Structures are given as C-alpha cells and as structure tokens.
Amino acid sequence: MGEVLGVGISIVSITIQIVEKLNKAISFYESIRGAPTDILRIIIELHILSDIISAIKLIHEKPRGISVVTTEKCLALVRSDIDKLLCLSLSLERKLNSGKTVNRAWARVQTVLSENKITKLRSHLKSAMEGLLMLQNCHIFAELRALASLSFQTPKNLGHYWETEDHVTIDDGLEKPFYLPLDLCSTPKMFMSILSHKYTSKNLPGLPLIQQGHVGIWDWSESIQVNTSNWELVVKGGRGIKLAFIMSTCHGFQRNKCIRCLKPRGSNTPGQKYNKCSSCRLEVHMVDPNVIPFEVTDVMLGYHPNQYRDYLLGTRKQINQDTRSTSGQGTTPLSTSGITNGRPPIDFVCRRLIIKWEPLLNIVHRYLYCRCVIRLSTPSYIEKEMTILVPAPCPRHNTVGACHTDYGEINYHQDPYFEQFGGYYSFQYFIYLCKPAIYSLLGGERFLHNNRIEDALKAFNKFREGNDEGLSKVNYEYFFEVNDELEKIGFKMPDSIVENIRDERVRRRNESELLGHGDYSNVGISEEQQRDFSEWPMVQELNKILAGEWSGKPHWAIENWGG
C-alpha cells in the first residue's frame, strides 16, 4: 500500500509540472491577437489538454493502485510532447520580442511562424492528446475488469461491512449461526416474523414453537435474558443473541445423564445457563414450572431409553437408502422414528432446550376447613386443579398448636380455587357468617381478623347479589365435602346427615360412571391398593408435611446441575 501511495504521489508531481509548462504555452498563444481559426483551435485544444491532465492529477491524489506503471509511461510521453510544444512556443516568443513592436498581431507572427512550424506544433499537440487517450483507455479497462470481477464474488454472509447496516449474529440452536441486518431485528415482532419465514421456507423442525413464540432469547454470553423491555439495549449491531426452544415434560429426568442420549453428563460450565452434553451436544436449562406461566409442547424424549438411538439409526439408514436410490438400485422404504411432515421432533435435533416440568394432573391437597394449601403438585395454574381435602389442622388457623411447614404460604387472594366463593375475602366471611363452629375451630381472628370483617362483608355481598342459587350451591358443596370426609374417618354425626351424605356419595358415583369418569374416592379400595398409594412420592411428601418432617424445599425445585 505504501508503494502504491508513493507512485501516486510521483504521478501527481509529474502532472503538476506538465500543467505548469502547458499553461505557459497557453498564455503565449492567447496573447496573439487577430490569429486565424487554426491558431484559435490550437488554443481550445490546449485548454482541453490542460483540463484532462488536471483531472488525472486529482485521480492520483488518492491512489487506488490502478495501472500506475502505465500511467507513468503515458504521462512521460505527454510531458515530452508538451516540452517540445513549449520549446517551439518559447522560440517563437523570443523572435517576436526581438522587434521594437511588442504588439503580437498576426501580421508580425506571420514573419516568424511558417506553415511548417504550425504543422509541427499540431503534431506535438496531437501526440500529447493520443498519449492521454491511451491513458484514459487503460483506466477504463482497469475499471471494467474490477466491475466484472464482482459478478464472480459470492458474499459469505449477510450483514458484513459492505452492507448498509450493522449485523446481528443469530444462533437459533438448530442450524449454524447466521447474520441479519440490524433493521430486521429492530423489534421482537419483526425478528420472530423473519425467523418464522426462514423455518417455513426451509421446512425446519420447531416451526410450531417459533410461530407460538415458545423460545427463550439470551445475549451471546448467556448472562442477560432478552425480552421486550430490554430488546433495544441488548440487540445491537455487532452483537449476537442465542435462542433456545421452550418445552415441557411430565416425567422427571436423571440428573446425572443427558436427557436425549442418556449418556453421563459433565459438570456445568461456570457462568453458563445450560448443561451441555459432550456426546450429542445438547444444552439443557431446567426451570421451575412457574417460570413459564403458559402451556408449551411436551418433549418426545424420555419415553423409552432407546428412543434417540432408534431415531439416529433410522436417519442413517434413510440417508444410505436415498444414496442407493439415486444410483438406480431397488430399496424397501424405511420409517424414521418420530419424523412427521418430513421434520423430526425439535428436541431430537436442536442444540439448546429450556425445559420445565409440568405434571399431567394438578393435584392439590388442602385443609378440610380453611382450604389452605398443604401440598401443591405445581405452582402454575395451567391445568385445572384436582382438590383432595385432608382433615388436618392448618398451622395458620388452629387452636391446637399445630405449627408445621407446608406449601400454603401463598397469596390466597390470587388463588383460582376461591373464585367459586367470590374470592378469598368472600370465602372468609362465608365461614364467619354461615359456619360459626368451624370459624371457632380455625381460631376466630386467626382466620378473619376483626379489622378485615368489613372488607370481607363487601366481597360477600358482591358475590351474593343476584346470585342466591350460586351461594346455595357452594354452601351445600362445602357442607357435603366436610361431612363426607368426617364420615369416612368415623366422626359421630346425626343419622340423618350420615344418610344424606351416603346418598349423595352414591349419586355422584353413578353420575361419574355415566359420564365415563373414574371414581377417585377411597370407598371400596382394598387395603393392598391403599398400601400401593402410600408408596407414591406425592403421598409420602404429604405425610412428611403433616408429621412436621418436611424440609421445606418444593419437590419441583431445580437443583444446581453443576453439582
């Protein structure tokens, strides 16, 4: 580059010298008054020649390395012609100045300027013009060659320096990282639209998740989760983002093995959000159920140990079969496990997953009287709650000194269970007004403090207004649920109530059978079946809670995979 710059400077120096000499010749011929057309034409051509040489000087003030050697040679020829032109002009000027009259009228010029000298003058001028023409042609050829070479150049990636905008590096966790101009990533909506178009046009797995927006986005270092509030701060030109597909599972995974290939996993990389398998390269980030408060697609992995292996074998056989088919050999069609619409399950092929555990049934154990939570299957409310009532004292509302730890430290005003009562305040006043004996068992003010009675009354009146049938229904439902549990444990009640409870129990069982629903009550279950239920982790945890032996750690809590 330094050599090219040096040549450019030398060319500029040559052109400056040529222009200076040419200007002297132009000045002389312009001083001739009354010259005929031939001399006037020579003056015009000299001006044009001066302009062309000045343009060449400007080109090489910022050299681009285009035919510098050729340019030097052409300018040397032009300088030679200009020198001869200048010598002729100076000789003529000396002869004219030797006379007494300084006026350079054409009559005096004719005495020293013969036809032969004019021809010689034109010859030098023509030679200079031809030299410049050759130089111009060389430059045109060099520019055309550079232009033609562009058609054979394939851009490596979008968003490089020759683009009008900075680019953002995208790692979608499926294919190789690619680049997008910043203006196509200016908003999350626009970015997801571009991503959806890519997955649709290429028929890539994971398209439904992209269309539903079930992806997590992190900055390139995986230290910042990207969302609508910080999008413009994180997604900038020259930076990158990483995507992970969000899925769920209803069964647990072995924490010392990869969830896909089931091979032993390594320890988590410090500072990273994902646990990476060194075998299949899958990165997994496990999260609590309440971190993702919406329903997502279940993974296909984990249903049997050979599932991923069978998929890989089927894929390899399919590739080999396609190769043989192209060579004209007959083959028997093979089925590749898990592939639908030409796309394998995304969890079989992606590099990055965010997985939450979500149970098939949202079973919630609640205290019989106050309906506080004893145990939760999940903190999310995606699945409708299946309530199991337990006749045990609540540590928050009792008169017997119960003080064990449970799952019940939640905001009951946001608990969907109490919507059937018109909200938690309305439920509290319902117990206070309609079930005074139970209100006393719950510790009176420990259940509903006196300074909250007015608020509870307002909520209860709002629920009851124009809804007498609804109030009657929840009143009977609460009456049946409480007495049904008490009758099962042998609590002494009037015969009329016992008979009513048993009749209602039979009616509900028949109704469930008619609708095709199972009967989940304990009535009619053998002792052996009850022992089997007692081995369930759910029941074991419930017993630990009521016995005061629970650690206080929710069963869905994600442990540190870094071990």
**CA distances (Å), 67 to each of 8, 60, 145, 158, 167, in order?**
10, 11, 12, 32, 35
Are 327 and 231 in a shared domain?
yes
Inform me whether the pLDDT recorded for 231 exceeds 50.
yes
- Of 320, 353, 386, which residue constitutes the final position of a domain? 353
pLDDT at 217: 94
* Among candidate residues 300, 320, 353, the one where a domain is terminated: 353
- C-alpha to C-alpha distance for 133 and 149, rounded to whole angstroms: 25
Higher pLDDT, 40 or 7: 40
Q: Residue holding tokens 């001739």?
A: 32
Using DSSP's 3-state secondary structure scheme, residue 385 falls into: strand
Taking the CA atoms of the chain, what radius of gyration do you get in angstroms? Answer: 46
Among the listed residues 556, 518, 560, the one whose alpha carbon sits nearest the alpha carbon of residue 250: 556
In terms of residue numbers, what domain contains 137?
A: 2-150
Query: Contact at 8 Å (CB) between 554 and 379?
Result: yes
Q: Total structural domains in the chain? A: 3
**DSSP H stretches of helix in 333-490:** 346-349, 424-434, 436-441, 453-464, 468-488
Phi and psi, residue 530, nearest 5°? -65, -35
25 pLDDT tier (thresholds 50, 70, 90): low
In a domain, 156, yes or no: no
Regarding whether 37 and 89 lie in a shared domain, the answer is yes
pLDDT band for position 280 (cuts 50, 70, 90): confident
In a domain, 226, yes or no: yes
DSSP percent split of the chain into helix, strand, coil, nearest 5: 50, 10, 40
What is this structure's pTM? 0.62
Q: What is the mean pLDDT of residues 305-310?
A: 77
Question: Is 90 exceeded by the pLDDT of residue 235?
Answer: yes
**Res. 251: pLDDT tops 80:** no
Q: Kindly state whether residues 143 and 211 are assigned to the same domain.
A: no
Query: If we measure between CA atoms, which residue out of 209, 212, 244 comes closest to residue 226?
Result: 244
- Is the pLDDT at 495 greater than 50? The verdict is yes
pLDDT at 69: 59
Instruction: Classify 313 as helix, strand or coil.
Output: helix
Q: Has residue 94 got a pLDDT over 90?
A: no
Contact indicator for 163, 173 with CB cutoff of 8 Å: no
What pLDDT was estimated at residue 310? 82
Q: Are residues 521 and 389 in the same domain?
A: yes
Residue 238 pLDDT: 87
Judge whether 563 lies within some domain: no
Does a structural domain hold residue 173? yes
Q: Are residues 181 and 301 in the same domain?
A: yes
What is the structure's pLDDT at 524? Answer: 45
* 84, two tokens: 């001869």
**Residue 391 and residue 518 in one domain:** yes
* Cα separations in angstroms, 532 against 65, 366, 536: 87, 22, 7
Cβ neighbours of residue 166 closer than 8 Å, sequence gap 6 or more: 159, 181, 182, 236, 237, 238
Within its chain, how far is the Cα of 348 from the centroid?
A: 20
Residue recorded with tokens 């019940």: 408
Determine contact, residues 434/460, Cβ cutoff 8 Å: no
Residue 308 — very low, low, confident or very high, per pLDDT cuts 50/70/90? confident
Instruction: Assess if residue 155 is contained within a domain.
Output: no
Same domain, 399 and 517: yes
Taking the C-alpha atoms of residue 258 and residue 249, their distance in angstroms, rounded to an integer, is 14
Give the residue among 82, 96, 92 at the shortest CA–CA distance from 45: 82
d(CA 13, CA 6): 11
Instruction: Describe the strand order of the beta sheet including 385-390 as a list of residue ranges.
Output: 373-376, 362-367, 385-390
Q: Encode burial over 247-282: b for 16+ CB neighbours within 10 A, e otherwise.
A: bbbeeebeeeebbbbbeebeebeeeebbbbbeebeb
Query: What pLDDT, on the 0 to 100 scale, is given for residue 360?
Result: 83
pLDDT at 314: 77
Which of 65-69, 308-312, 415-419, 547-551 shows the lowest mean pLDDT across its residues?
A: 65-69
Range 22-36 average pLDDT = 57
Dihedral (CA of 180, 185, 191, 193) sign: negative
Q: Which residues pair with 365 in a beta bridge?
A: 375, 388
Average pLDDT over residues 1-28: 52
Task: Answer whether 428's CB lies under 8 Å from 456's CB.
Answer: yes
Shared domain check, 344 and 235: yes
> Taking 50 as the threshold, does the pLDDT of residue 8 lie above it?
no
From 300, 331, 353, give the residue that closes a domain: 353
End-to-end CA distance of the chain: 56
Residues 280 and 199 reside in one and the same domain:
yes
Average the pLDDT over each of 216-225, 250-259, 364-373 and give the range with the smallest value.
Answer: 250-259
Lowest pLDDT segment from 31-35, 305-309, 406-410: 31-35
Q: Would you state the pLDDT for residue 394?
A: 97
- Quick: pLDDT tens for 126-139: 666 666 666 666 66
Residues 20 and 121 in one domain: yes
Same domain, 315 and 464: no
Whether residue 235 sits in one domain with residue 278: yes
The verdict on residue 467 lying in a domain is yes
pLDDT of residue 50: 65
The residue-averaged pLDDT of 207-236 equals: 92
* 240: β partners: 169
pLDDT for the residue 1: 42
Nearest-angstrom CA–CA distance, 69 and 135: 11
- Tell whether 146 is covered by a domain: yes
Q: Which of 144-148, 392-396, 485-489, 528-532 bottoms out in mean pLDDT, i.e. has the lowest?
A: 528-532
One-letter amino acid for residue 72 of the chain: E
% of the chain residues with pLDDT over 90: 38
Query: Is residue 421 in a domain?
Result: yes
What pLDDT sits at residue 263? 83
Per the prediction, the chain carries an average pLDDT of 77
